[in-house]
Structure formats: structure tokens, C-alpha cells
């Protein structure tokens, strides 16, 4: 796993053309990673009944069980963030990125091959849980390594722009997952989708993971020579030496992750369960709004390089704290209602997603940057982002669907308080 590829010169940003190549390598690999991860949430409504038995008279039990596994995968993310972050800090960003994409492809293949409960009983949910644990390990490491890689590859005054491609590529992967899911939903009957159609996107994800691995093998390592020759940091060094920075990452992420997973992942299911929205149409709305979201990212990232990160972060957090409840209550069974609500939320959400990678990377020194970001970020995402679909569905089952929008609003208000005291880092030189 030792990196033997080309190394960026110490303290010297990569040339412009090389930076673009780095951007492409990181983005393509990241898109593949997140395609595999998000296919699960888009297809949950189809395979839930195949893997989990229904409770007595309650049709929501399989869906709840499937989203519980979704959350379990998230709780492997802190482990992945810590371990793969340590690999990135010790062996190189590129080494970590090649490992994470192989793990994701293997997990996706395992989901595709998951047997049904009717055929194998408890083995079916066990296989699904193992697959999501592997994918959770991969995704936890992916954000830490790719965030560090992207920001370190950026030239002066372009860290916000480059960091925005973390979510451009994430959204492209999610968009492809949503698009393929929507296409299959329209081409196949519900019975075919539940029977075998849901497996196709996971098989595709396993294949394209190999393509992403090949692309990442050719990337340029961004660790400086000084970092390569320095003593390797301990596994928990970032937490021990930088506790305030670790807490800042948690506060920065809490509101962003609940809003992100609600608006980009759970909203189609929320509309289906709470407003009787057609499942196929909900996936179509999600695909359209994700394309709109991807276009916004580099525009906002470049803007943050000019005006700073804090104005965008505060706009996001205050906007969601005030508007999350009325927006979610506006969803009806009409196609246009979900489309408008999802796109409006995407505009607000961009204030967080376009700059999150840059802000996180600017908080930690280079020596422990990947592991320093990986663990607190992934832990916060696991606690609030990964549980969003489960919490929303649980509120519905408990007879209080109106509580979930208030939950989203409250977490965004907490992050708004953190953004107020956060130092502006846009114009500070990046520690290398």
C-alpha cells in the first residue's frame, strides 16, 4: 500500500493542468463510490419485503428494517474515517483512495447477491448487514481521503472551487443511481422490480468500481516530501492534539448532514410514505433536482473563494432552521409540489455542501488532516445523517410525521451557532 507514484513538491501547489487532472481523478472515483452507496436508499422500497419479513399487519416493518441497516452502515463510517484517514496520513492520499473504492465495489456486489428471506431465512438480512458494513467502512474513509486530496490539489484562491467538486461528484454518483432506479421503475413492473430488477444497479456498481480503481491508480500523490519522511502520526493523534478542531468538525457537520440526507436521499421516500406520492414519480423528481443541485456546487464554491466560507454556511443553516418545517409541510401528491420543495431545499443546502470539504480541510494541519477530518465527520454523519430515513419513518409509524421537520430545523439551528463563532479560513494559506 506504500505509494510509489509521483509526488507533489513540498509546499508547492500543482500546476494548473495537473490540478485539473487531479480534480477529474478524484471526482470520477468519488462518483463511483457514492453511486454504489446511494443505490441502496433509492431501491429500499423495492427490496425491503424480499430481505425482511413483514410484521403482523404492519407494512412499514420491512422498510423500517431496511433503513435500520442503512443506519448500521453509517455507524461503520467513523471506523472507516479513522482507519482510512490514518492510511492517507501515513501512506498517502492515493493509497487510501484505491483501497476505499475496492471495498465499495465488493460491498455492492454482495448486496446484489443477497438472497431472499423466503429462500434462506435469517441469512438474507445477515448478508445485507455485512455488505453495508463493508460499504460504510469504505465511505467513511472516502470522504476523509478525497476531501484532503482535492483541497491539497487546488491552486491559490481555488480551494473553495475544488472542494465543491466533492459534492459535484457525490451528486453525479447519486444522480446516476437515482436515474437508473427511476428508469428501471418505469420499464419494469413493481413485481419485477421487487423480484430481480433491484439487483441490476448493484451489479453495475460493482463493475464501475473497477474503472474508478484504475483511474485513481494514475493520480498524483499530494503529500509533501516532508510529510513522507516525518514520523508517522498515531491513530488517535488528531483527537489528542486537536480536540477543539475535532469538536468544530462535529458542529459544522450536524445540521449539514441531516439536511443533506433528508433532501437528497430520504425525500422521495418521505413523500411516498407521508403524502401518497407515486414511487416512480418520486425517483424522477429526485433525479431532476439532483441535476440542478450539481450545477450549483462549483458556482457556490467559487463564490466562497471571493467572499469567504461563513456567509454561505450561515445562509444555509439559518435558511433551513426557518424554512425546513414549512417546506416539508408543503409536499402533496402533486408532482410539482415535490419538485419545488426539493429544488428550494437544494439552493439552501448548497451553502453547506459547496464549502464543507474546504472548511474541514482548513481546520487541521497536513500531518493529521485526513484522520482528523475522517473520524469526527463520519461519527456526526452516522448519528444524524445515517439515521434520518429511519427517524423519519419511525415518526410516521408512531403517528407523529410532523415531528421530523422540526428535528431537521433544530439541528440546523445548532450548526448556525457554530458557524457564528467559526473563524474565516478562506484566505488563510493551507498548511502543507
**59 in any annotated domain:** yes
432 in any annotated domain? no
Q: In the chain, what's the furthest Cα-to-Cα distance?
A: 64
Instruction: Confirm whether 429 is domain-assigned.
Output: no
- Predicted local distance difference test score (pLDDT) of residue 6: 46
What pLDDT shows up at residue 141?
A: 87
pTM (global) more than 0.85: no
Q: How many domains does one find in the chain?
A: 1
Digits of tens for pLDDT over the chain (432 positions)?
444 444 444 445 554 566 777 887 788 878 887 888 778 877 877 887 788 776 544 555 566 676 677 667 777 888 888 898 888 888 888 889 989 989 989 999 999 999 988 888 878 888 888 888 898 888 888 888 888 888 888 877 889 999 899 989 988 988 888 788 888 988 988 888 888 899 999 999 999 888 888 888 878 887 767 666 666 777 788 888 888 999 999 999 999 999 998 888 788 778 887 788 887 788 788 888 889 999 999 999 999 999 999 999 999 999 999 998 899 888 888 889 899 999 999 999 999 999 999 999 888 888 889 888 989 998 898 888 877 877 887 887 788 877 888 999 999 999 999 999 998 888 887 766
SS percent in the chain: helix, strand, coil, step 5? 80, 0, 20
CATH number, domain at 407?
1.20.1250.20
DSSP string, 199-257: HHHHHHHHHHHHHHHHHHHTPPB-S-HHHHHSPPPPTTHHHHH-HHHHHHHHHHHHHHH
| Residue 230, in any domain of the structure | no
Q: Grid coordinates representing 142?
A: 472516502
- Core vs surface per residue 342-363: b (16+ CB within 10 A) or e: bbbbbebbbbbbbbbbbbbbbb
Distance of CA 70 to the CA centre of its chain: 13
Provide the residue range defining the domain that includes 281: 16-222+238-421
Confirm whether 228 is domain-assigned. no
Residue 105 corresponds to which cell in the numbers above? Answer: 465495489
Residue 230: left if φ>0, alpha if ψ -120 to 50, beta else—which one? Answer: beta
Distance CA 372, CA 367 (A): 9
* Residue 264 forms part of a structural domain: yes
**Region of 219 on the Ramachandran plot (φ > 0 left; ψ -120 to 50 alpha; else beta):** beta
Nearest in space to 101 (alpha carbons), one of 217, 212, 23? 212
Q: Is residue 332 classed exposed, middle or buried when 0-12, 13-18 and 19+ CB atoms within 10 A define those classes?
A: middle
Side-chain-side CA neighbours of 318 within 13 Å: the count stands at 9
Residue 107 within a domain: yes
CA dihedral sign, ordered 170, 172, 173, 178: positive
User: Residue 190 belongs to what H/E stretch?
Assistant: helix 190-192
Q: Please tell me the predicted confidence (pLDDT) of residue 4.
A: 43
**Is 75 domain-assigned?**
yes
Distance from C-alpha of 428 to C-alpha of 361, rounded to nearest angstrom: 12
- Look up residue 309 and give its three cell numbers: 466560507
CA distance 50 to 69: 14
* Burial bucket for residue 100 (CB in 10 Å: 0-12, 13-18, 19+): buried
d(CA 380, CA 250): 6
Burial environment of residue 90 by CB neighbours within 10 A (0 to 12, 13 to 18, 19 or more): buried
Amino acid at each position: 500500500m506504500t505509494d510509489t507514484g509521483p509526488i507533489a513538491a513540498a509546499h508547492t501547489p500543482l500546476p494548473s493542468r495537473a490540478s485539473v487532472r487531479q480534480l477529474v481523478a478524484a471526482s470520477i472515483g468519488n462518483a463511483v463510490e457514492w453511486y454504489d452507496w446511494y443505490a441502496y436508499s433509492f431501491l429500499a422500497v423495492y427490496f425491503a419485503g424480499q430481505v425482511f419479513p413483514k410484521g403482523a399487519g404492519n407494512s412499514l416493518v420491512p422498510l423500517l428494517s431496511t433503513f435500520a441497516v442503512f443506519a448500521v452502515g453509517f455507524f461503520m463510517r467513523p471506523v472507516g474515517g479513522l482507519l482510512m484517514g490514518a492510511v492517507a496520513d501515513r501512506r498517502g492520499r492515493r493509497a487510501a483512495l484505491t483501497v476505499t473504492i475496492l471495498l465499495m465495489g465488493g460491498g455492492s456486489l454482495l448486496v446484489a447477491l443477497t438472497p431472499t428471506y423466503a429462500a434462506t431465512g435469517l441469512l438474507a438480512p445477515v448478508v445485507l448487514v455485512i455488505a453495508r458494513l463493508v460499504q460504510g467502512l469504505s465511505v467513511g474513509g472516502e470522504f476523509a481521503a478525497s476531501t484532503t486530496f482535492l483541497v491539497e490539489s487546488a491552486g491559490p484562491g481555488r480551494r473553495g472551487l475544488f472542494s465543491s467538486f466533492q459534492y459535484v461528484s457525490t451528486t453525479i454518483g447519486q444522480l446516476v443511481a437515482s436515474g437508473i432506479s427511476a428508469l428501471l421503475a418505469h420499464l419494469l413492473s413493481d413485481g419485477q422490480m421487487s423480484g430481480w430488477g433491484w439487483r441490476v444497479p448493484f451489479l453495475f456498481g460493482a463493475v464501475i468500481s473497477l474503472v474508478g480503481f484504475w483511474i485513481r491508480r494514475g493520480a498524483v500523490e499530494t503529500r509533501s516530501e516532508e510529510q513522507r519522511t516525518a514520523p508517522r502520526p498515531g491513530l488517535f493523534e488528531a483527537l489528542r492534539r486537536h480536540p477543539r478542531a475535532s469538536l468544530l468538525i462535529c458542529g459544522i457537520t450536524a445540521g449539514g448532514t441531516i439536511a443533506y440526507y433528508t433532501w437528497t436521499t430520504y425525500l422521495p421516500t418521505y413523500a411516498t410514505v407521508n403524502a401518497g406520492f407515486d414511487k416512480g414519480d418520486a425517483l424522477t423528481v429526485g433525479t431532476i433536482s439532483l441535476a440542478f443541485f450539481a450545477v450549483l456546487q462549483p458556482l457556490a464554491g467559487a463564490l466562497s473563494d471571493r467572499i469567504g466560507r461563513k456567509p454561505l454556511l450561515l445562509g444555509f443553516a439559518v435558511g433551513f432552521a426557518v424554512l425546513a418545517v414549512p417546506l416539508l409541510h408543503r409536499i402533496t401528491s402533486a408532482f410539482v409540489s415535490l419538485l419545488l420543495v426539493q429544488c428550494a431545499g437544494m439552493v439552501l443546502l448548497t451553502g453547506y455542501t459547496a464549502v464543507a470539504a474546504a472548511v474541514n480541510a482548513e481546520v487541521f494541519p497536513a500531518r493529521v488532516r485526513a484522520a482528523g477530518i475522517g473520524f469526527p465527520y463520519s461519527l456526526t454523519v452516522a448519528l444524524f445523517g445515517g439515521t434520518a430515513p429511519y427517524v423519519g419513518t419511525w415518526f410516521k409509524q408512531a403517528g407523529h410525521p410532523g415531528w421530523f421537520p422540526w428535528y431537521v430545523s433544530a439541528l440546523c439551528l445548532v450548526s448556525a451557532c457554530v458557524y457564528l463563532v467559526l473563524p474565516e479560513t478562506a484566505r488563510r494559506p493551507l498548511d502543507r
